[in-house]
């Protein structure tokens, strides 16, 4: 006799599985028709188990409330007569007539998180009928890094607050291509909530591998995480894709269990599924197998190249990969990145590299992290130079190991940009996009650099491509605002931004760009509302204040803001000081500020070729000489 009998429509088997696993983890014995053995008289077996079960949990879905759901309704009727009926909703449906008196708990979109309040409600209903369970199933009690999931990383926007309104406005007009997929975050079914980073890491590795395949469109991480609670058809509709990959991960001291399911986004039907029960050290083999099988299910041609794609930049050392996952989790869960956060990331990456000295992904990520740290925290030019040289060395090691690794080319591009080597930076960001054609971040970076170098047509095409790859991520939309601004299409930039702001305000964060566009349109009162929305002593706010004052004829006001900018940021804001002096008509000081920016390698100089606030200087031979030193690519 089982504690709980699960009644459900056969087509909902994989959606019910997380509920079975959760109840088992909480110590209850569960019977569902997966237990029927070969040769069993299945009707008699089901009837016996149904009548003996201490509780009957009925999963109401579109299928089970429909015409073909008569078996589920019969089982629910028996449960009601015995007063052991517990209803749950796995779709947005009402239970059939006669079954609505008991309050049903909605588990729509739930993936197995036992800390979720909805599951707790179901567990409470079971406990009231069956009584307390035995001891929970023993799982990992290992220690680990405390996942302080307080905040979303600066470069990774919080997706949970994004509404569907902007999707309706900005979604691609074409129908989803059959070779398109979203890899949703895998649900963490382990007892330890801090293991969530590992489940997310497995999904991200699979997503990264698939994004390398040129015949496949892969939706970016932020958008995929935004629909993690939706069923497959709903997620597919929001993301405009034909396929959804979902999964779960459960870890114990001796076993890792991964379940993966490829679903047709239009029908909800399985295209491929597999359960893996392996030792913890086999996690990498599982990821590789899933990526290859998914690619094969979508296209035989994709399957033939997926195996090679899974080998690029990775490791066969499971512990090294786990450390790498922890660093990516830091970027996602820590807001701006404190100095201590950077130090923790360095320690984790160094440990991963010690375990596998040929782990190219780890070298590339350390290069990116180090360059970012140097720009934020280095105290003098000497330290800045040393850290950038080390970041360059790390990126080159990664590329020596894996020449086609997109993240390594992106890291090298960032170092070159930091050193004002914009020609090589452009070539590397282009390669990063070529080697990861499905990576929205790589495409967006390529778009940004292309725009400031003056190729607005290509930049706009790339910005739209990035939006389609990550349609619920605010980043690509704000990048498009910037690309339109860099193309000097100020009215279009403002209109696009205000349309985004109206339809989905959580996505909009380009206050400085729109404020400057409005200044250039001489809409000074409107510009003030955008400039003033930023923090009072933020460098972009002080620069915008000074430019607004200068353009509107308030020279004294512009000078006061300039002095405040100098007081707070000193030489680090040399480029911005050059912009302000140019607008005040002081060419000598403007050019001196830009020359100093060049000496200290001020990253703001990347905009020098297209920046409209430097226009008063463009006819000066000294400006032309500085442009020549900058060696911008054509």
What would the mean pLDDT of 186-205 be, rounded to a whole number?
82
Q: How large a percentage of the chain has pLDDT more than 70?
A: 88
In the chain, how long is the greatest CA-to-CA distance?
94
* pLDDT for residue 170 is more than 70: no
* pLDDT for residue 101 is more than 80: no
What is the C-alpha to C-alpha distance for residues 89 and 29, in angstroms, rounded to an integer?
A: 21
Look at 147 and 558; give whichever has higher pLDDT: 558
Alpha-helical (H) ranges within 53-116 are 70-81
Look at 115 and 148; give whichever has higher pLDDT: 115
Question: What digits encode the pLDDT tens for the residues 601-612?
Answer: 888 899 999 999
For 160, residues 6+ apart whose C-beta sits below 8 A from its C-beta are: 226
Q: How large a percentage of the chain has pLDDT more than 90?
A: 41
In this structure, the chain runs to a length of 634
* pLDDT for residue 211 is more than 90: no
What would the mean pLDDT of 134-140 be, rounded to a whole number?
41
Question: What digits encode the pLDDT tens for the residues 454-500?
Answer: 999 999 999 999 999 999 889 899 999 999 999 999 999 999 999 99
The predicted pLDDT at position 461 comes to 94
What would the mean pLDDT of 158-174 be, rounded to a whole number?
29
Q: Which of 98-112, 345-359, 552-566 has the lowest mean pLDDT?
A: 98-112
The predicted pLDDT at position 311 comes to 67
What is the C-alpha to C-alpha distance for residues 185 and 109, in angstroms, rounded to an integer?
A: 12
Quickly state the pLDDT bin for 376 (edges 50, 70, 90).
Answer: confident
Q: Which of 129-143, 200-214, 399-413, 520-534 has the lowest mean pLDDT?
A: 129-143
Q: Which of 363-367, 561-565, 603-607 has the lowest mean pLDDT?
A: 603-607
Task: Kindly give the interhelix angle for 511-520 and 490-503, rounded to the nearest 10 degrees.
Answer: 140
What would the mean pLDDT of 220-240 be, rounded to a whole number?
87
Q: How far is CA 499 from CA 42, 469, 508, 515, 630, in A?
A: 58, 20, 10, 15, 36
What would the mean pLDDT of 324-344 be, rounded to a whole number?
80
Quickly state the pLDDT bin for 542 (edges 50, 70, 90).
Answer: very high
Look at 286 and 595; give whichever has higher pLDDT: 595
The predicted pLDDT at position 403 comes to 94
The predicted pLDDT at position 157 comes to 26
Strongest mean pLDDT among 119-123, 206-210, 419-423, 548-552: 548-552
The predicted pLDDT at position 537 comes to 87
* pLDDT for residue 614 is more than 60: yes
Look at 412 and 198; give whichever has higher pLDDT: 412
The predicted pLDDT at position 305 comes to 60
Quickly state the pLDDT bin for 336 (edges 50, 70, 90).
Answer: low
Q: Which strands sit side by side in the sheet containing 4-7, from one edge to the other?
A: 30-31, 4-7, 55-60, 85-89, 105-106
What would the mean pLDDT of 28-53 be, rounded to a whole number?
72
* pLDDT for residue 57 is more than 70: yes
Question: What digits encode the pLDDT tens for the residues 491-504?
Answer: 999 999 999 999 88
* pLDDT for residue 43 is more than 80: no
For 86, residues 6+ apart whose C-beta sits below 8 A from its C-beta are: 55, 56, 57, 58, 79, 102, 122, 125, 126, 129
What would the mean pLDDT of 561-575 be, rounded to a whole number?
90
Quickly state the pLDDT bin for 153 (edges 50, 70, 90).
Answer: very low
Q: Which of 25-34, 413-422, 427-436, 532-541 has the lowest mean pLDDT?
A: 25-34
Burial of 552 (0-12, 13-18, 19+ CB in 10 A): middle
Strongest mean pLDDT among 285-294, 345-354, 565-574: 345-354
Instruction: Copy the structure tokens of residue 289.
Output: 């197998």
Question: What digits encode the pLDDT tens for the residues 284-328?
Answer: 888 878 887 787 777 755 555 666 666 688 888 989 989 998 988
What would the mean pLDDT of 389-398 be, rounded to a whole number?
96
The predicted pLDDT at position 545 comes to 96
The predicted pLDDT at position 160 comes to 25
* pLDDT for residue 62 is more than 90: no
Range 53-83 burial, b when 16+ CB lie within 10 A, else e: bbbbbbbbbbbbbeeebebbbebbebbbeee
The predicted pLDDT at position 134 comes to 56
- Which backbone phi and psi does 213 adopt, to 5 degrees? -90, 120
Q: How far is CA 389 from CA 165, 289, 376, 426, in A?
A: 45, 38, 16, 19
The predicted pLDDT at position 137 comes to 39
Which domains does the chain show, CATH number per domain? 4-130 (3.40.50.10140), 510-634 (1.25.40)
Quickly state the pLDDT bin for 233 (edges 50, 70, 90).
Answer: confident
* pLDDT for residue 520 is more than 90: yes
Mean pLDDT of the chain: 83
The predicted pLDDT at position 163 comes to 26
The predicted pLDDT at position 307 comes to 61
CA 509 vs. chain centroid, Å, equals 17
What would the mean pLDDT of 151-163 be, rounded to a whole number?
25
* pLDDT for residue 29 is more than 80: yes
Quickly state the pLDDT bin for 172 (edges 50, 70, 90).
Answer: very low
């Amino acid at each position: 006799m089982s504690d709980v009998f699960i009644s459900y429509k056969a087509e909902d088997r994989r959606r019910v599985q997380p509920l079975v696993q959760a109840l088992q983890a909480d110590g209850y014995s569960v019977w569902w028709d997966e237990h029927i053995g070969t040769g069993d008289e299945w009707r008699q077996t089901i009837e016996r188990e149904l009548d003996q079960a201490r509780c009957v949990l009925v999963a109401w879905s579109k299928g089970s409330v429909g015409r073909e759901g008569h078996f589920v309704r019969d089982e629910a009727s028996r449960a009601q007569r015995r007063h052991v009926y517990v209803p749950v909703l796995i779709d947005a449906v009402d239970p059939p007539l006669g079954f609505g008196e008991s309050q049903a708990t909605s588990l729509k979109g739930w993936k197995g998180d036992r800390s979720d309040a909805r599951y707790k409600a179901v567990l409470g209903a079971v406990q009231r009928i069956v009584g307390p369970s035995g001891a929970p199933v023993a799982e990992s009690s290992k220690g680990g890094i405390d996942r302080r999931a307080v905040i979303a990383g600066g470069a990774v926007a919080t997706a949970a607050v994004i509404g569907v309104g902007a999707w309706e406005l900005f979604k691609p007009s074409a129908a989803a291509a059959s070779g398109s997929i979203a890899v949703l975050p895998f649900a963490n079914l382990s007892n330890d909530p801090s293991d969530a980073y590992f489940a997310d890491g497995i999904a991200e590795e699979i997503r990264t591998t698939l994004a390398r395949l040129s015949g496949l469109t892969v939706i970016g991480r932020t958008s995929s995480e935004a629909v993690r609670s939706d069923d497959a058809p709903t997620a597919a509709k929001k993301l405009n894709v034909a396929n959804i990959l979902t999964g779960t991960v459960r870890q114990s001291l001796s076993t890792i269990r991964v379940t993966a399911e490829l679903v047709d986004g239009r029908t909800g039907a399985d295209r491929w599924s597999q359960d893996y029960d392996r030792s913890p050290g086999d996690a990498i083999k599982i990821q590789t197998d899933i990526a290859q099988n998914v690619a094969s299910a979508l296209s035989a041609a994709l399957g033939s190249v997926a195996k090679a794609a899974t080998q690029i930049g990775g490791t066969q050392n499971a512990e090294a990969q786990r450390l790498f996952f922890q660093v990516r989790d830091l970027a996602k869960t820590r807001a701006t990145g404190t100095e201590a956060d950077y130090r923790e990331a360095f320690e984790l990456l160094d440990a991963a590299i010690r375990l596998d000295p040929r782990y190219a992904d780890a070298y590339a990520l350390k290069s990116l992290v180090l360059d970012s740290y140097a720009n934020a925290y280095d105290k003098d030019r000497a330290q800045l130079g040393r850290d950038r040289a080390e970041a360059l060395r790390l990126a080159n090691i990664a590329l020596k190991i894996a020449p086609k690794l997109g993240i390594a080319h992106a890291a090298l591009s960032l170092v070159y940009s930091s050193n004002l080597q914009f020609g090589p930076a452009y070539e590397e960001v282009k390669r990063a996009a070529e080697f990861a054609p499905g990576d929205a971040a790589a495409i967006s970076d390529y778009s940004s650099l292309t725009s400031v170098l003056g190729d607005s047509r290509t930049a706009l095409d790339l910005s739209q491509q990035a939006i389609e790859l990550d349609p619920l991520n605010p980043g690509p939309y704000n990048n498009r605002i910037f690309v339109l601004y860099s193309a000097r299409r100020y009215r279009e930039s403002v209109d696009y931004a205000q349309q985004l702001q109206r339809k989905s305000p959580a996505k909009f964060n380009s206050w400085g760009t729109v404020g400057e566009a409005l200044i250039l349109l001489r809409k000074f009162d409107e510009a003030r509302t955008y400039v003033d929305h930023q923090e009072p002593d933020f460098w972009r706010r002080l620069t915008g204040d000074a430019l607004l004052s200068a353009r509107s004829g308030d020279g004294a006001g512009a000078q006061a803001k300039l002095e405040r900018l100098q007081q707070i940021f000193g030489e680090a804001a040399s480029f911005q000081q050059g912009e302000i002096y140019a607008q005040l008509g002081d060419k000598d000081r403007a050019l001196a500020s830009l020359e100093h920016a060049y000496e200290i390698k001020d990253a703001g100089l990347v905009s020098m070729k297209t920046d409209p606030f430097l226009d008063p200087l463009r006819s000066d031979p000294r400006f032309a000489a500085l442009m020549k030193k900058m060696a911008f690519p054509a």
